Amino acid sequence: MKILAIESSCDETAAAVAEDGRKLIAGTVASQIDIHAKYGGVVPEIASRAHAEAICGVVSSALEGAGLGLEDIDAIAVTYAPGLIGALLTGVSYAKGLAFASGKPLIPVHHIRGHVAANYLVHPELKPPFLALVVSGGHTSLMKVADYTEYSLVGCARDDAAGEAFDKCARVLGLPYPGGAAMDKLASLGDPLKYRFNAGSVDGAEYDFTFSGLKTAVINLVHGELQRGREPDEAFRADVAASFTHALVTAVTSRLEKYILHSGACDIALAGGVAANSHLRRAVGETAEKYGARLFLPPLSLCGDNAAMIASQAYYEYLAGVTAGPELNACATKAV
């Protein structure tokens, strides 16, 4: 079954064609990084307009790359939640029109399930049940995947997601947008124990995450240096990046380890944009090895937002009988 998928939940306009949820045939991503870099973050209205300008070309490029016409496609899939509402609506509206005009089934896909499914495209041995750890710009979630379309939330971020905290700290350190890759590189040059940052915990929710306090501690430290007339040098910035990264990664892996101790070791799938972070990948790998669990990692090319992951998850949604009609609407926030 060949599925054409569209992803437009934030600042990447993407389209891809995948077969039977496991084989990527072709994919295209139009990035908006240059557009939003001057603002230091994504501007929703600008993102929506950029999606509208790019989506036709991106879909055509994906089909051309696959060597297929729309008549060769079996279904149309689209990210409908969660994300920036205007950005989502652009993709949903286009997908609905395409499905109606071509007479193809329309499959709505949850963005977070898509991130998890990125692993299906490169790990044929990964099958439910397993534990999914999604760490991205807008989400930090620990989930039990009982089946391809049966998810239960174990813990999630109560405030800033990990990726959001990375970007905000990168900005205060004077790093270019987006800050994730720059923070990863800078953290490798610093002392992770120089500053005793702590990500904190949530009373009564031992698996939930909170990163706003960690972010604020970094901002206050940097601002304190500036107020004392000391311009942060490269060594200071590297130590701050390393200490921040260490605290955040420790917070993530400690929840993972606590759940493994409670429920037993099982397969673990890491996913999301922050899954590209080398420090997180290494730490989660060490945790998995400690308890004899198999760890599945997506390649860096499939960590960020892309449509290949949406096409993969759409296959399993379709097998479960999940389709939609013209009534499909976008949703900014929706549980997995």
| Residues 115, 309 contacting (CB under 8 angstroms) | yes
Mind giving me the DSSP string for 210-276?
--HHHHHHHHHHHHHHHHTT----HHHHHHHHHHHHHHHHHHHHHHHHHHHHHH----EEEESGGGG
Average pLDDT estimate for 188-207:
94
Give the mean model confidence (pLDDT) for residues 68-93.
97
Domain ranges of the chain: 2-118+302-319, 126-297
Shared fold status for 2-118+302-319 and 126-297: yes
CA distances from 226 to 166, 179, 223, 233, 298 (A): 20, 21, 5, 11, 40
For tokens 């304190």, what's the residue? 224
DSSP 29-61: EEE-HHHHHTTTS--HHHHHHHHHHHHHHHHHH
Taking alpha carbons only, the member of 122, 45, 53 closest to residue 309 is: 122
Put the strands of the sheet holding 295-296 in their side by side order.
Answer: 150-156, 140-147, 130-135, 268-271, 295-296
Q: Could you report the per-residue pLDDT of 153-181, keeping only the tens digit for each?
A: 999 999 999 999 999 999 999 998 888 99
As a whole number of angstroms, the distance between CA 203 and CA 17 comes to 44
Are the C-beta atoms of 130 and 154 separated by less than 8 Å?
Answer: no
The residue behind tokens 């904190």 is: 200
CB–CB of 84/125 below 8 Å? no
Hey, what amino acid is at 101?
A
Query: Is 297 buried (19+), middle (13-18) or exposed (0-12) by CB count in 10 A?
Result: buried
The SS3 of residue 278 is helix
Q: How far is Cα 66 from Cα 49, in angstroms, rounded to an integer?
A: 27
| Residue 217: pLDDT band with limits 50, 70, 90 | very high
pLDDT exceeds 90 at position 224: yes
Radius of gyration of the chain (CA): 20
Query: How does pLDDT run across 39-50, given as a tens digit for each residue?
Result: 888 999 999 999
Q: Is the confidence at residue 229, as pLDDT, over 90?
A: no
Coil vs helix vs strand at 3: strand
241-279 burial code (b ≥16 CB/10 A, e <16): bbbbbbbbbebbbbbbeebbeeeeebbbbbbbbbbbbeb
Element (H, E) at 131: strand 130-135
What is the bridge-based pairing of β-strands 295-296 and 268-271? parallel
Architecture of the domain whose range is 2-118+302-319:
2-Layer Sandwich (3.30)
What would be the CATH architecture of the domain defined by 126-297? 2-Layer Sandwich (3.30)
Predicted structure pTM score:
0.95
How confident is residue 315, by pLDDT bands cut at 50, 70 and 90?
Answer: very high
Buried b (16+ CB within 10 A) or exposed e, 197-219: bebbeeeeeebbbbbbebbebbe
Question: Residue 156: what pLDDT?
Answer: 95
Identify the helix (H) or strand (E) that includes residue 117. helix 111-117
Q: What are phi and psi of 168, to 5 degrees?
A: -70, -40
What is the residue whose two structure tokens read 């987006």?
178
Contact 17, 66 (CB under 8 A): yes
Burial class (CB in 10 A: 0-12, 13-18, 19+), 333: exposed
Please write the tens of the pLDDT for every residue from 128-158: 999 999 999 889 999 999 999 999 999 999 9
Whether the per-residue pLDDT at 206 is higher than 90: the answer is yes
